[in-house]
Structure 1
Amino acid sequence: MPGGRVRDGSASLGHDIGHCSKQKASIRMVSSAFSTYTSYLVLNRDINSSLSRVASQGDVASNTDYYEENIGKVTTAEEFVNDYRLFSYAMKAYGLEEMTYAKAFMKKVLESDPNDDSSFANSLTDTRYADFAKAYNFSGDLAKAQTSAQTENLVTAYQDSFTQEETDIKSEVSYFQSKIGSIDHVNDIIGNDRLRTYVLESFGLDAKYTSKNYLSQVLTSDLNDPDSVANQASNDAWRELAAAFNFSSDGTVAAGETAQSAEQTSDLRLDYIYNKSTYPSDLLLDANQSYWEKHVAEAGSASEITSDARLLEYVKTAFGLRDTMMASSVASMMYSRTFAETIGNTELLDYFSFQTDGTVAAGGSAQTSEQATNLEAKYKTAFQASQADAVENAVSNFETRIADVKSIDDFFKSNADDDDANNDDVTEIWDVALRAFGIDPSEVKMTALRKILSSNLEDKDSYANQLDDERYVALVKAFNFDTKGDVDTPLLAQSENVTQDFTADYLSLKTRFLKGDEREKAGETATDEIEYFEKKMESISTVDELLSDSRLVNFLLESQEIDPKSVTKDELQQMFASDLDDPKSYVNQLDNKSFAKIVASFNFDTEGNLTSDTLGTVQQRGDVFQTVSNYYRQTLEEEQGDSNEGVRLALYFERKASSITSAYDILGDSALLNFFKTAYNLSTYFSSQELEKQAATVEKFVELDKLSDPDYVQKVIQRFTALYDSQNGATDSAALSILQGSSSSISADTLLAVAQLSAR
């Protein structure tokens, strides 16, 4: 079974390439003309040139072009494995060329979830299969209405809107109060947009559609004249507005008077706060309390209190009464014990001092000072509980419901349609979304909102863009609906499956070779960094944002075994500005291909902005780049193996060294095992030992925790090549010449030293 056999990670060592171009021949000549180590050095010290020569070969270039042009057209694993040219390219790239025939088996691998430890690919002993599954994404990224970052940002904006509302209300109140003292003509209000709006909105009147002329006529109305404009209005608010000012019929203020008395200005302030507040803020709490104290002191009966909607609301809030309870019933509860006992609530009787007929006794008041103080405390407690619930319930409802939204139709599903009847009084999720972006629900119809949310912002003629309102653009960006109204895969700086690959690499590197408490502690620290990285990847939208966060940059570099101190921000900016399709671009000229891998893993254009152009179907840009890079490297190693298997093994070991985390990684890979036995001059008896003994021998000779150190890796390769040449009778090997010219026994270490000298 493929999963259980010993793997040959170098992709069929000894396989005959067949017809080779002159370029192939020139590369092979390197191996035939020099010692194995010298040949390896010539290739590896300018690996970019070596790989470029491979890439330019006719058959390699043709196969690569075909792969890059067609991988984006594949949508299923079935299509992939049935396109032999495409499939064989990929299999060779990941060292699985010898399994190209096993299409059914590989289809099962490709359909495995690489992030599920129990999936088919991850259950196989040979990790090449898991690597292959990770390189493709046939399950697709998860489509969702919002990412966690989008939800968090929207909820934060929603919560912040309440603080902003208070700030805005205070600002307008302060502005009006600073101006009212200097107003001496009605036109001073009519001609000032802020003052005019403040006056109208204080009474719940429409500031947008009320004409200036009509407002002027109301403000100059004689309330003693039943035929005046204010008295003729059907809405009592107009009469209340006229009574709030002291303008004469000609619009002036009489000598010795002001446009408003201090009491009128104070009352208008309470009205403005009440009508402009959309949630129970602390500002509204204070305003309601002031309104209550003023008007209750003037009340002569319980019915006078309950006939005022604001006073009635105060009582209902304080005592937790139903919104639907009639005003007359509430009034009766204040003074009638018989009625209160009948409905089972006598609490209100203790907070008021009405006579049994519901009136205030001569010389008395509706409340004693103690009753007033106690009711104030009760109201404040109930109000603040409502204040917290109003926001928390709306947020909780939004977070719960948005997770189940699969289309715009779901988004507009009412709480009342939900199975949970307790949601009936909770803010609808579209209201939460609109408020978060400063949009009043009355501004936009549902039909228009549907068009907005399904707009493609990359199309300048889309409905949302045509509105020329950044609030609607921000609203669209907060969700992931396609033009058909269905949820889509979110466009992220890194696709989710790519981010998971980087986090897996990071965790592995941070915990490998550690044991016990040390490993656990390192794992916890790594997990904290992973959570930060994953969260930020949902909100990063430009290269500048990415590179300005050193924590993210360090994570990326360290996940690819790059020391953050070895690269500057300017260098990273040049890398991200590089054209990955241009072999001569800055990032492609770097010896360390991990930098290009990092750049390719992001969905940024060369200007550093988020783009959907880099998105593939089953393979993201970074995985395509890695597949092609792997193919070039595999081809180079194969061609070297045609003339010198030692060079191929050395190149293979150099490539795989940093991924080796245990002795069993070497023992389970026939190419690495061959390299190891040669490097340490082990007899054929070695492989007949028990596996545990073999592992112990590997750990004795190889310092596994140093295999990520390039200098150490080179020392091991030097040892291997010296022994390889001596064992294979290389005619130009200095080490072999000494052996042939001496009758004494020469140790492997001596041979190594000689080989090192000859390579200088």
Structure 2
Amino acid sequence: MTSTTLSTYTSYLIVNRDMKSSLNSVANQATVSRESKYYEENIGKVTSVDEFVDDYRLYSYAMKAYGLSDMTYGKAFMKKVLESDLTDSASFANSLTDKRYAAFAAAFNFTSSTAMAQTSVQENTLVKAYQSSFDEEQTSIQAEVDYYNATIGSVTSVDKLLSNSRATAYVLESFGLDPDYTSKSYLKQVLTSDLDDPNSFANQTGNDTFVALAKAFNFNADGTVNGGSAQTADQKLSLKLDYIYNKSTFPSDLLADANKTYWQTKISTMTNVDELVDDNRMVEYLKTAYDINVQFSSSIKSLLTSDSAAEILGYTHVKAMFNFQSDGTIAAGNAAQTAAQLASINASYVTAFQADQKDTVDNAIKNYQTRIDEVTSIDDFLTSNADDEDEDNDDVTEIWDVALRAYGIDPHEVGKTKLRDILSSDPDDPDSYVNQFEDERYVALVKAFNFDAEGDISTPLLVQSESVTNDYASDYLRTKTKLLTGVEKTEAKTAAEKEIGYFQTQMQTITTAKQFLADERLVSFVLEAKGVDSDWVTTDDLKKMFASDLDDPESYVNSLENKAFAEIVASFNFDTKGNVSSDPVGTVQQRGDVLTTVNNYVQQTLEEQQGEDNEGVRLALYFQRTASDITSPYNILSDTALFQFFKTTFSMSDYISNMDTAQQADMIENYIDINKLQDSDYVTDLLKRFTALYDQANNNTTSPALAMLTSTSSTRISADTLLAVAQLSSR
């Protein structure tokens, strides 16, 4: 019996027909298994590029995984590759023609400084909450006003008022008093005082606030009311205006309306300029309306009563808005302001108030966004604007005030020491400091930042690291624009960038596998970035994949033929329960990249071992694996193995390497339709042509067809022929 050498194509088919088994066989080889285990156990301990390249076992393993073994000696060169900023198209790795280097750099996270006080999503969420807080404040204040006005009409005694804690709080807060620290019995004595009696309780307090509080109601000494009304309409209005004024923390529309009403009410009964300058709220209104920059009440009085003083101070136009005489009085028959003057000051006030309202919010947000990017610790966060050198920040809201307001926390209820302890707490630890308060506002505040237990900024706890989401974004863009040109490419890029924006933003909000799988847009993005048609994968399949144990070779995701699914699952920082986990965060290589590196290493080893018996098989396997990534003839020219495949497939002489590069590229395009390399049938035809011509050039085997024609009865059909027939029969 004669033996026949298997053809290159048949040898290729033997390996490729069950690639999963072929790869598993290699992965289980003692040497491969040992090196893979070493890599998986030690790559997470690396903290710098120098550590990495100095550990030869780790470094050479990774270099081989990405087909760069021949450059293992070039440590200095590879350090530059690993230290490249892949978001910069001009960076070292991106400037290299051979894209294997950029792929190698993308598998690691040596350059990204991922520690940050807030991610963009955390910052945007806080800013939006801050902006919303102003509307919420107005709504809350108006709700209390409406409640009180609807309630006070039925109050017929002081006891009935004080039994209603919500109404009582409204009254006290209208006068700037804290309900938590004001005794109801004390308040009852104030409200039932006879203000005409100098010895009454309210008068004896010596406190104008309590006297004014007693004046706001009509309770008798026994706590009853005459005529069934605790307050007149004017008293209710006055209380409302005071409540809005004292509860407002920013220049809201509600406050503007209240201030206008307050001004109109007071100015209409005013008989002397002293009544105006002695009322701080009136002075504020006047200063806002006309942008008056004088500090002393005496100066305000002068510019309102003296033409010369008004001229010297530059406020003659303000003086003209009032009818005060030089002694501060108002002539008989006149009012402090005419209807026209009143309309004018109100118009000026509204214009100035609205500008101030917008500036207050916009400046606070701008200052916050500028300063939060510079924060490296809680101490930085709690540093006052006033501490900044060469800047006049006195009127800018402190960034911690912005944060506290965003989560409904009054700055007066938490000191800096307490705030520092809260922000350095672990919100997921039920025994941590922040959870002792049992207050979700504080928990939400802590989760809005990324401070560690020492008070320093740390890596954000994300479902995917920033480097991984960037890799997915790059893969998605490349997939969506591959082989396109001109307008089509521009439109595809625009559409892809929109999806990338959504992906990068939304991924920062995902905390569970369930959340991720519920977002079809995110799921499709991830699958398509890895070259998987989302239409061919069901939600149930994905649920089983994400529920799989990646460490169990028999788990569902590991049993799939396409290893891309396991790599996708591994790229997420989910624990066994499907919740985001901090374990994989902060290493130089994320779990998904580790798995990809190991898979690549096994693939490279398989191809190398096949090449030891038949170099043609190695080249065929390599071409089959990389063909769909070829988008230009220059991809072939820059890759020694692909160029050798091309030359063999089309019987090209090695002398073509001496041709001009552009001429070589033109030649490749004349022989290979780059666009068809996405078509598996076209790739198979090229593989058949390559293997046949490789065998012919290397005298590897006799033609199966010729062997059949010349066979005798004693000649058996070769295994080569049987396999070829089996392949044809299976179609």
Counterpart AA for 1:667: L
C-alpha contact 2:5 2:701 (8 A) present in aligned 1: no
C-alpha contact 1:141 1:495 (8 A) present in aligned 2: no
Query: 1:88-99 to 2 correspondence within 5 Å?
Result: 88-99=60-71
Shift of the 238–718 alpha-carbon distance from structure 1 to 2, 3 Å rule, reads: farther
Partner Cα separation in structure 1 for residue 515 and residue 300 of structure 2: 58
C-alpha contact 1:140 1:618 (8 A) present in aligned 2: no
Match of 1:252 among 195, 209, 224: 224
Query: 1:606-621 to 2 correspondence within 5 Å?
Result: 606-621=576-591
Partner Cα separation in structure 1 for residue 390 and residue 139 of structure 2: 35
Residue number in structure 2 paired with 1:159: 131
Partner Cα separation in structure 1 for residue 364 and residue 317 of structure 2: 31
Partner Cα separation in structure 2 for residue 251 and residue 402 of structure 1: 55
Residue number in structure 1 paired with 2:254: 283
Deviation per CA, 1:698-753: give whole Å up to 9, x if none.
22232212323334333333433344445555558635636988xxxxxxxxxx99
Partner Cα separation in structure 2 for residue 755 and residue 608 of structure 1: 45
Corresponding position: 1:349 with 2:349 = no
TM-score, L = length of structure 2: 0.92
Deviates more, 1:261-270 or 1:454-463: 454-463
Partner Cα separation in structure 1 for residue 283 and residue 92 of structure 2: 67
Following superposition, the deviation at residue 267 of structure 1 comes to 1.6
Deviates more, 1:438-447 or 1:552-561: 552-561
Match of 1:376 among 346, 351, 357: 346
What percent identity do the matched residue pairs reach?
59
C-alpha contact 1:280 1:386 (8 A) present in aligned 2: yes
Aligned to 1:208, the other structure's residue is in SS state helix
Corresponding position: 1:503 with 2:473 = yes
Match of 1:186 among 158, 163, 172: 158
TM-score, L = length of structure 1: 0.89
Aligned to 1:423, the other structure's residue is in SS state coil
Partner Cα separation in structure 2 for residue 754 and residue 665 of structure 1: 35
Partner Cα separation in structure 2 for residue 688 and residue 140 of structure 1: 41
Deviation per CA, 1:152-207: give whole Å up to 9, x if none.
11111111000000110111111111211111222322222211211111111001
Corresponding position: 1:586 with 2:556 = yes
Following superposition, the deviation at residue 122 of structure 1 comes to 3.2
Shift of the 264–711 alpha-carbon distance from structure 1 to 2, 3 Å rule, reads: farther
Shift of the 715–184 alpha-carbon distance from structure 1 to 2, 3 Å rule, reads: farther
Query: 1:525-674 to 2 correspondence within 5 Å?
Result: 525-674=495-644
C-alpha contact 1:725 1:733 (8 A) present in aligned 2: no
Deviates more, 1:233-242 or 1:535-544: 535-544
C-alpha contact 1:143 1:487 (8 A) present in aligned 2: yes
Corresponding position: 1:137 with 2:109 = yes
Shift of the 135–459 alpha-carbon distance from structure 1 to 2, 3 Å rule, reads: same
Following superposition, the deviation at residue 96 of structure 1 comes to 1.9
Aligned to 2:577, the other structure's residue is in SS state coil
Residue number in structure 2 paired with 1:265: 236
Following superposition, the deviation at residue 681 of structure 1 comes to 4.2
Match of 2:277 among 306, 310, 329: 306
C-alpha contact 2:152 2:230 (8 A) present in aligned 1: yes
Counterpart AA for 1:481: F
Match of 1:316 among 287, 291, 300: 287
Deviation per CA, 1:457-482: give whole Å up to 9, x if none.
34333222222211111111111222
Match of 2:182 among 181, 190, 210: 210
Shift of the 715–69 alpha-carbon distance from structure 1 to 2, 3 Å rule, reads: same
Shift of the 497–325 alpha-carbon distance from structure 1 to 2, 3 Å rule, reads: same
Partner Cα separation in structure 2 for residue 231 and residue 464 of structure 1: 45
Match of 2:82 among 110, 115, 119: 110
Match of 2:211 among 235, 239, 257: 239
Residue number in structure 2 paired with 1:403: 373
Aligned to 2:609, the other structure's residue is in SS state helix
C-alpha contact 1:735 1:755 (8 A) present in aligned 2: no
Partner Cα separation in structure 2 for residue 662 and residue 732 of structure 1: 35
Deviates more, 1:599-608 or 1:654-663: 599-608
Deviates more, 1:269-278 or 1:133-142: 133-142
Residue number in structure 2 paired with 1:749: none
Residue number in structure 1 paired with 2:707: 737
Aligned to 1:351, the other structure's residue is in SS state coil
Residue number in structure 1 paired with 2:464: 494
Residue number in structure 2 paired with 1:434: 404
Counterpart AA for 1:528: K
C-alpha contact 2:86 2:106 (8 A) present in aligned 1: yes
Partner Cα separation in structure 2 for residue 740 and residue 79 of structure 1: 63
Partner Cα separation in structure 2 for residue 155 and residue 658 of structure 1: 44
Partner Cα separation in structure 2 for residue 757 and residue 653 of structure 1: 22
Partner Cα separation in structure 1 for residue 181 and residue 240 of structure 2: 22
Deviates more, 1:575-584 or 1:299-308: 575-584
Residue number in structure 2 paired with 1:294: 265
Shift of the 235–653 alpha-carbon distance from structure 1 to 2, 3 Å rule, reads: farther
Partner Cα separation in structure 1 for residue 701 and residue 312 of structure 2: 114
Partner Cα separation in structure 1 for residue 444 and residue 590 of structure 2: 27
Deviates more, 1:619-628 or 1:537-546: 537-546
C-alpha contact 1:456 1:462 (8 A) present in aligned 2: yes
Residue number in structure 2 paired with 1:46: 18
Counterpart AA for 1:557: L
Partner Cα separation in structure 2 for residue 270 and residue 736 of structure 1: 106
Shift of the 193–43 alpha-carbon distance from structure 1 to 2, 3 Å rule, reads: farther
C-alpha contact 1:38 1:759 (8 A) present in aligned 2: no
Partner Cα separation in structure 2 for residue 187 and residue 586 of structure 1: 71
Partner Cα separation in structure 2 for residue 164 and residue 622 of structure 1: 43
Deviation per CA, 1:646-703: give whole Å up to 9, x if none.
3322221121112111112122222222322333344555555443343223222322
Counterpart AA for 2:241: L
C-alpha contact 1:733 1:755 (8 A) present in aligned 2: no
C-alpha contact 2:98 2:635 (8 A) present in aligned 1: no
Deviates more, 1:454-463 or 1:372-381: 454-463
Aligned to 2:109, the other structure's residue is in SS state coil
Shift of the 63–303 alpha-carbon distance from structure 1 to 2, 3 Å rule, reads: same
Unaligned ranges ≥5, structure 2:
712-722
Residue number in structure 2 paired with 1:461: 431
Partner Cα separation in structure 1 for residue 490 and residue 192 of structure 2: 79
C-alpha contact 1:725 1:736 (8 A) present in aligned 2: no
Deviation per CA, 1:295-329: give whole Å up to 9, x if none.
1111101111121111111111111113x622222
Match of 1:515 among 451, 476, 485: 485
Partner Cα separation in structure 1 for residue 145 and residue 336 of structure 2: 31
Following superposition, the deviation at residue 545 of structure 1 comes to 3.4
Partner Cα separation in structure 2 for residue 712 and residue 604 of structure 1: 40
Partner Cα separation in structure 2 for residue 739 and residue 707 of structure 1: 35
Following superposition, the deviation at residue 34 of structure 1 comes to 5.5
Residue number in structure 2 paired with 1:27: none
Match of 1:197 among 169, 172, 197: 169
Partner Cα separation in structure 2 for residue 698 and residue 445 of structure 1: 71
Partner Cα separation in structure 2 for residue 417 and residue 735 of structure 1: 88
Match of 2:388 among 418, 426, 429: 418
Corresponding position: 1:219 with 2:191 = yes
C-alpha contact 1:77 1:138 (8 A) present in aligned 2: yes
Partner Cα separation in structure 2 for residue 452 and residue 736 of structure 1: 83
Match of 2:362 among 392, 400, 404: 392
C-alpha contact 1:37 1:759 (8 A) present in aligned 2: no
Counterpart AA for 2:276: I
Unaligned ranges ≥5, structure 1:
1-31, 742-751
